[in-house]
Homo-oligomer: A and B are copies of this chain.
Amino acid sequence: VSVTIRDIAQAAGVSPSTVSRALNDHPRISVATKELIQQLAQQMGYTPSALGRGLVTRQTATIGVVITTALDPFLAPLVTSIEEMARDNGYTVFLSSSCSDPERELGAVRAFYERRVSGVIVIGSQIEEGYFKLRDRFPLPIVLTNCRTYPYSIASDNVVGARRAVAHLIQLGHRLVAYISNPRSHCTNLDRYAGYRQALDKAGIPLDQNLVAEGNGTLDGGINAARQLLTSSQLLTAFFCFNDMTAIGVIVALRQAGFQVPRDKSVVGFDDLDLALYYHPALTTVRQPTCHMGQRAMRTLLELIRGKDDVRPEILPTELIIRETTGPVISSDGQ
């Protein structure tokens, strides 16, 4: 159904290998035939088959990126920086979503491997420790984000970021600080929870499991978790949230329950989305170096593709951005 180099060869009265050379700017070919063939290819509507080519060259110049879902605004700058850098290096990027489902994530990696992509980046893996043993099942370069049990992983410093955020709340006088989690991002969630506990520890505040609620990284998840926390413990004064969308959900729930932020309750997010700055009130949050993470992930992957194997996991710094959703605790006599 589509034009092949043989069709062009026949039309030009040359052999297929000559056509191949002409189309690939091979040095050993006459300018005349090269131009003739290129023109012919153009007007015959020839587009090379990556299948045929990939089969013989054993490389597809393609990078597969596995994301959780197209919905997550946090992914945007990360993916964009990956695409940018891939393009600069002659690679095409394809995305595939896992829907935060470990099985589908595996399916996405398999789909990429079946198509023999040059390498894969998995953002927000659900498969905790599995990639170690996946290396012989899918023998291709794989780079993860936020997974410290895997040698090739680019992470931001979730532990320190979370610790600082919660320390900030404690410094403002908050003693009852809730954490709203996101089990869908297993590793990341674990780290942020660890930072949360470290900050409490340091301040001598005992961990209260009733102040830990389960979210899912979305606005709705934040609303539900906040509602649940508000009914079980009305005394808590601050929320540390897995991410910004969760934090916005919390603020919505608080508003619906008649509380004002930050007068009555303080809220901290994570990610520093564009929206965080422009939400009203503007979100206090922890900024991740998203673009940097994407570039580092891509650079590591390129090195792996080129055969460098001495790559070390990297942890990039995070930064607490204090805006308008955190404030001091109002003493009880002020009410």
Chain A residues in contact with chain B, CB under 8 A? 1-2, 45, 47-52, 54-55, 58, 60, 62, 64, 67, 69-71, 73, 75-77, 79-80, 83, 92-97, 99, 110-111, 113-116, 136-139, 218-220, 223, 248-249, 252, 255, 274-275, 278, 280
Contacts and interface: CB of A to CB of B under 8 A. Distances in A.
Give the top 3 A-B pairs by smallest Cβ distance, nearest first. A71-B76, A95-B95, A94-B94
Contact of A51 (B54, B71, B278): B54
Given A51-B54, A55-B51, A249 B278 contact: yes
Contact of A220 (B1, B48, B274): B274
A114 B69 CA distance: 26
A148 B105 CA distance: 36
A137 B69 contact: no
Contacts of A99: 80, 83
A321 B138 CA distance: 48
Given A80-B69, A96-B94, A248-B278, A110 B55 contact: no
Nearest to A82: B70
A298 to B, nearest CB: 15
Nearest to A73: B73
B83 A79 contact: no
Contacts of A255: 280
Contacts of A77: 71
A97 B83 contact: yes
B95 A70 contact: yes
Given A55-B55, A79-B70, A94-B95, A45 B114 contact: no
Contacts of A49: 55, 114, 116
Given A94-B95, A95-B95, A114 B280 contact: no
A111 B92 contact: yes
A251 to B, nearest CB: 8
A137 B45 contact: yes
Nearest to A222: B278
Contacts of A137: 45, 47
B139 A219 contact: no
9 contacts: A1-B58, A2-B116, A47-B113, A47-B137, A51-B55, A70-B70, A220-B274, A248-B278, A249-B278
Contacts of A2: 116, 139
B219 A47 contact: no
Contacts of A51: 51, 54-55, 60, 115-116
A239 to B, nearest CB: 16
Nearest to A275: B219
Most chain B C-beta atoms within 10 Å of own C-beta, residue among A51, A55, A137: A51
A114 B47 contact: yes
Given A70-B75, A70-B80, A96-B95, A50 B115 contact: yes
Contacts of A93: 96-97
A242 to B, nearest CB: 17
Nearest to A218: B274
Nearest to A96: B94
Contacts of A58: 1
A82 to B, nearest CB: 10
Contacts of A223: 278
